[in-house]
Amino acid sequence: MLHKNLKPFPKDFLWGASTSAYQVEGANLEDGKGPSVQDVKVIPEGTSDLTVCADHYHRYKEDIALMAEMGFKTYRFSISWSRILPNGTGEVNPKGIEFYNNVINECLKYNIEPLVTMFHFDLPQALEERGGWEKRESIDWFVNFAKVMFENFGDRVKYWLTINEQNVLILSGDIIGTTKLTGPDKYKSLYQQNHHMLVAQAKAMALCHEMVPGGKIGPAPNISLAYPASCKPEDQLAAQNLNAIRNWLYLDMAVYGKYNNLAWAFMEERNATPVIEEGDMEILANGHPDFIGFNYYSTATVKWCPENIEETFGHDQQKTRMEPGVYLGAANENLPHTDFGWEIDPMGFRATMREMYSRYRLPMIVTENGLGAYDKLTEDGKVHDQYRIEYLRKHIEQIKLAITDGVEMMGYCPWSAIDLISTHEGMVKRYGFIYVDRDEFDLKTLDRYRKDSFYWYKKVIASNGEDLSD
Ligand code: BGP
């Protein structure tokens, strides 16, 4: 739809950016922190470990001051479960509480609203050893962790996100180092874990409303609208299949407390329907989100997939996605790629926002979106990341169009506020507005530098999204 006049961004629009604890903090075994699954995973060859990352644990003041200089209205960060509860349950680590109190207070000092992700890919290793999310007790572990967070931080943190990319944890856990499952029972186990996370999330949402005065909470899946590769009817069915399994399963549950029918049929086919205990459906129906947070990087394109095709799970985001008899990933020839092979689709962002809003009618905040690139620091301390500016500009333009379409958008937090370690491609894949002077293995000075995108985003925020020019 072409609009003659575009609506402005709301006055209180939450401009900011995101990070996650295990990717930015470092100090991964310092001050009483227990190991998480990320600390013990096999690191992909050629990438560094998590002991230092961006050293945010020691430099959060400098980092938050830079965010304030950009004019951030919000900062989305996650709380490391095993920094607060080194064993996942039991003893609380006072140093962990102190660190996040400091981060929160530092944000508030600059009127930056903390937006806290409760769980971002880093289950305490102690809980993994007790069976992880496959165990029914995982629901109580998470709710207990939520309670500790609400008790300690709920007086100041009003915006909460439950589980980062639960759908990616289930669909691509092998890539991000959280799940390694093969064999015939793979699906059974994954969808049981999924069910436990969904119940845990619903309970945490209800608890937030009980414990945090004025608290608002929502999920944070990664939502990618699936396109059919052609107008063949069977490709349309394949796109509906992927949309159900990848997107709507998670949001139908978070918002309506109901299993998506197509996703359920898929689980039945795979003999993978979860064990649902008495009372679960009631808990699920009672956990109401106040908003939807979602990460968007690109769309997906799929075609019909024959049943007798060999499964090839790979690490390539776009090309190897498939489920025999359900959908087969296809390249979208209309889209350019990032240096790391991810398709770039700003218009698909608008389509995704429209679709989500028409299904759920809740305010939405973008909790991730961004461009991973090989940035270069020049000798005079500059980073000319015009490609990132282009990427972000095109996506912000689409938010404005979506707002004019009638979609209720409450904020934008690109990935990432500052350079940090990628999920599986190391430090060379940078996303930040702030450059961190280190290489994969050489820690260098760890000094911070403002990239060109830093100054650009500052102007965008100052104009509340009206000035997107260079
Ligand atoms: C999302 C995750 C982030 C982040 C980002 C970029 O899936 O929530 O943790 O890392 O993607 O991905 P990558 O680091 O693989 O480039």
Condensed to tens digits (0 to 9), the pLDDT of residues 280-324 reads: 999 999 999 999 999 999 999 999 988 877 655 443 444 457 888
Average pLDDT of every residue of the chain: 95
Evaluate: CB of 323 within 6 angstroms of ligand 1. Answer: no
Q: How many helices (H) and strands (E) does the chain have?
A: 16, 14
pLDDT tens per residue, range 398-426: 999 999 999 999 999 999 999 999 999 99
Question: Could you tell me the distance, in angstroms and rounded to a whole number, from the CA of residue 422 to the centre of ligand 1?
Answer: 6
pLDDT at 450 > cutoff 90? yes
- pLDDT at residue 318 in the model: 45
Which segments of 325-465 does DSSP mark as H helices, in order? Answer: 346-360, 386-404, 452-462
pTM of the model: 0.97
Question: Could you tell me the distance, in angstroms and rounded to a whole number, from the CA of residue 198 to the centre of ligand 1?
Answer: 21
| Residue 69 tokens, joined | 């200089």
Q: How confident is the model at residue 175 (pLDDT cuts 50, 70, 90)?
A: confident
% of the chain at pLDDT higher than 70 = 97
Burial grade of 379 (CB within 10 A; 0-12, 13-18, 19 or more):
exposed
Task: Output Rg (C-alpha) for the chain, integer angstroms.
Answer: 21
- pLDDT at residue 310 in the model: 65
Residue whose entry in the numeric block shows the structure tokens 């997906």: 300
| Residue 433 tokens, joined | 């507005």
| Residue 243 tokens, joined | 């949309």
368 is catalytic: yes
Q: Looking at this protein, which amino acid is placed at residue 225?
A: L
Q: Residues 368, 379, 425, 440: which is the catalytic one?
A: 368
Q: Write the DSSP assignment of 87-109 as a string of letters.
A: TSSSS--HHHHHHHHHHHHHHHH
Evaluate: CB of 415 within 6 angstroms of ligand 1. Answer: yes
Please compute the mean of the pLDDT values over residues 166-195 and round it to a whole number. 85
- pLDDT at residue 312 in the model: 54
- pLDDT at residue 309 in the model: 73
Of 441, 430, 428, 422, the residue nearest 177 (C-alpha) = 422
- pLDDT at residue 180 in the model: 63
- pLDDT at residue 313 in the model: 46
- pLDDT at residue 315 in the model: 38
- Cis, peptide link before residue 416, omega less than 30° from 0: yes
Evaluate: CB of 352 within 6 angstroms of ligand 1. Answer: no
pLDDT tens per residue, range 136-148: 999 999 999 999 9
- pLDDT at residue 301 in the model: 95
Contacts 24+ apart (CB under 8 A), 273-282: 273/191, 274/191, 274/192, 274/194, 274/195, 275/192, 275/195, 276/195, 277/136, 280/195, 280/199, 281/257
Pocket mutation for ligand 1, best pick of 423, 425, 440 (most atoms within 8 Å of C-beta):
423
Q: Does the structural domain 14-297+343-462 have CATH classification 3.30.420.480? A: no
Please compute the mean of the pLDDT values over residues 224-252 and round it to a whole number. 97
204, 147 in Cβ contact below 8 A? Answer: no
Please compute the mean of the pLDDT values over residues 150-155 and round it to a whole number. 98
165 is catalytic: yes
Q: Residues 25, 106, 113, 165: which is the catalytic one?
A: 165
403, 393 in Cβ contact below 8 A? Answer: no
